[in-house]
Amino acid sequence: MNKLTSLRRVLTLNVCQSSQRAVVIRNEHGQNADFPRKYSKREKKPFPIPVLELRRRAKERMKAAQGKPKQPMPPPKNGMLVRRLIPVAYKVYNARILLINNLKRLMKVVPVKGCKYCSEIHVGSVGHPFRTCRGMSAAQRRGEHDWGSTLVEAVFLPIEAYHLEDRLGPRIPHDQRFSVPRIPALVELCIQAGVDLPEYPTKRRRKPIIKIGRKEFVDANEDDLPEPEPDRFKQPLLEELHYDEIIAPSNPEETAALAEETLEAWEAVRDGALKLMKGYAVRVCGYCPEVHVGPTGHKARNCGAFKHQQRNGQHGWQAAVLDDLVPPRYVWHMPESGEELQRELKTFYGQAPAVVEICIQGGAKVPEKYKATMRLDIGIPSSLKEAEMVV
């Protein structure tokens, strides 16, 4: 009996090890990751951190603070700027302008097509053949796209937000939704983080606020402070070029260098925006793409998403993620052979952000972080018969 029991244990151990080994091999494979999920317009976006986890963390903070003196609020909650993030804000602002200007130049040599009836785009001389159009009269066209030219705003989406002169001031009411200017949300985040733009003034405090209630505060007296000195973090700002001032690259070497610079600007925008979002609160509606830069969302009842009548048009504010502020706009990746995409082989093609795909077709190297969804190691069948033989 002992020999039989030990033999069973050895067989069970071998089966477990083989199954674990198979799982590990599958997880360690860094290619062919699934595409980002597209949420339906009839469902709410998931919270970046579950509500139960937020409540648990709040209870732990309350227990840790019991019996201890109350700590002063850190910036930016006390109205002051986070000094270490001011250079990051200037870098993100200039990288955004550089990205837009370079994309305008690249799109003169790298063709980008846009559907006339929906928001889908494709990087290539001919639009893709997939029937995924959901625009006007799509049923009559059986979901086929009607491709035409497009602008840089379709590649790098201009997500807008309300500009706040005082980020700690009262929330924007519904009746003032047209009197408050709207600017790109990324620019508003840079302004609140320390970038000074004369056309968009904002309040800069030199002393922390004095709280008199849970949601009430007064500004500290700054009369005893000397005159403010020139800000040592201030940097020269780039300007966005008009389409008439754009000059296309003259040769492939210049195009490749421009594509590499554009890709670096894209990464600088994404990485810098993520750093700023860790210090300054950014909100997004859980039902629509509305973004608000500030500790609390505005009160404008302009949400037209699913079941907005039950909410009286009010937004369901929650913490935003990086893709809400800087959407990547995934497009189909063209094979290196240059062959046009085939409708029957859709499952074999990969996807990449539109900015990255433009830079790659312009001559830039493929970044390592985007290879997982581009499916570069998949051998694309030459015919439908060969594709049916794939297991």
Question: Would you state the pLDDT for residue 36?
Answer: 79
Q: Which residue has the higher pLDDT, 61 or 25?
A: 61
Question: Would you state the pLDDT for residue 30?
Answer: 62
Q: DSSP class of residue 177?
A: T
How far apart (Å, rounded) are the C-alpha atoms in residues 38 and 274? Answer: 21
pLDDT tens-digit series, residues 100-141: 999 999 999 999 999 999 999 999 999 999 999 999 999 999
pLDDT tens-digit series, residues 353-367: 999 999 999 999 999
Report residue 25's pLDDT band, with 50, 70 and 90 as the boundaries: very low
Question: Would you state the pLDDT for residue 37?
Answer: 79
Report residue 6's pLDDT band, with 50, 70 and 90 as the boundaries: very low
Q: Tell me what the mean pLDDT of segment 1-18 comes to.
A: 40
Say yes or no to pLDDT of 7 above 50. Answer: no
Map residue 312 onto helix, strand or coil. coil
Q: Exposure of 205 by Cβ count < 10 A (0-12 exposed, 13-18 middle, 19+ buried)?
A: middle
- Other beta carbons within 10 angstroms of residue 121's beta carbon come to 21
Question: Would you state the pLDDT for residue 384?
Answer: 74
Question: Would you state the pLDDT for residue 391?
Answer: 55
Query: Average pLDDT of the chain?
Result: 88
Say yes or no to pLDDT of 9 above 50. Answer: no
Q: Exposure of 381 by Cβ count < 10 A (0-12 exposed, 13-18 middle, 19+ buried)?
A: middle
- Other beta carbons within 10 angstroms of residue 163's beta carbon come to 22
**Between β-strands 282-285 and 317-319, what pairing exists: parallel, antiparallel or unpaired?**
antiparallel
Q: How far is CA 310 from each of CA 39, 235, 314, 366, rounded to the nearest angstrom? A: 21, 47, 9, 46
Which segments of 29-85 does DSSP mark as H helices, in order?
A: 51-65
- Find the range with the poorest average confidence among 162-171, 206-215, 225-234, 348-357: 225-234
% residues pLDDT > 70 (the chain) = 92
Report residue 31's pLDDT band, with 50, 70 and 90 as the boundaries: low
Q: Tell me what the mean pLDDT of segment 321-337 comes to.
A: 93
How far apart (Å, rounded) are the C-alpha atoms in residues 105 and 157? Answer: 17
Question: Would you state the pLDDT for residue 4?
Answer: 38
Q: Which residue has the tokens 């970038």?
A: 195
Q: Tell me what the mean pLDDT of segment 335-354 comes to.
A: 89
Q: How far is CA 334 from each of CA 102, 158, 217, 302, 375, rounded to the nearest angstrom? A: 21, 25, 56, 39, 11
How far apart (Å, rounded) are the C-alpha atoms in residues 382 and 315? Answer: 49
Of the chain, the end-to-end C-alpha distance in Å amounts to: 44
Q: Tell me what the mean pLDDT of segment 327-331 comes to.
A: 94
Say yes or no to pLDDT of 11 above 50. Answer: no
Q: Tell me what the mean pLDDT of segment 41-70 comes to.
A: 91
Question: Would you state the pLDDT for residue 310?
Answer: 93
pLDDT tens-digit series, residues 250-296: 999 999 999 999 999 999 999 999 999 999 999 999 999 999 999 99
Query: Are 154 and 121 contacting, i.e. CB atoms less than 8 angstroms apart?
Result: yes
pLDDT tens-digit series, residues 200-224: 999 999 999 998 887 889 999 988 8
In the numeric block, which tokens belong to residue 29? 């494979």
Query: Are 190 and 225 contacting, i.e. CB atoms less than 8 angstroms apart?
Result: no
How far apart (Å, rounded) are the C-alpha atoms in residues 135 and 157? Answer: 19
Question: Would you state the pLDDT for residue 356?
Answer: 97
CB neighbours of 215 closer than 8 A, spacing ≥ 6? none
User: What value, to the nearest 5°, has the Cα angle with vertex 164 and ends 216 and 288?
Assistant: 100
Q: Which of 26-35, 176-185, 371-380 has the highest mean pLDDT?
A: 176-185
What's the whole-model pTM score? 0.88
Q: Which of 244-248, 263-267, 373-377 has the highest mean pLDDT?
A: 263-267
How far apart (Å, rounded) are the C-alpha atoms in residues 134 and 60? Answer: 47
Map residue 89 onto helix, strand or coil. helix
- Other beta carbons within 10 angstroms of residue 238's beta carbon come to 14
Say yes or no to pLDDT of 148 above 90. Answer: yes
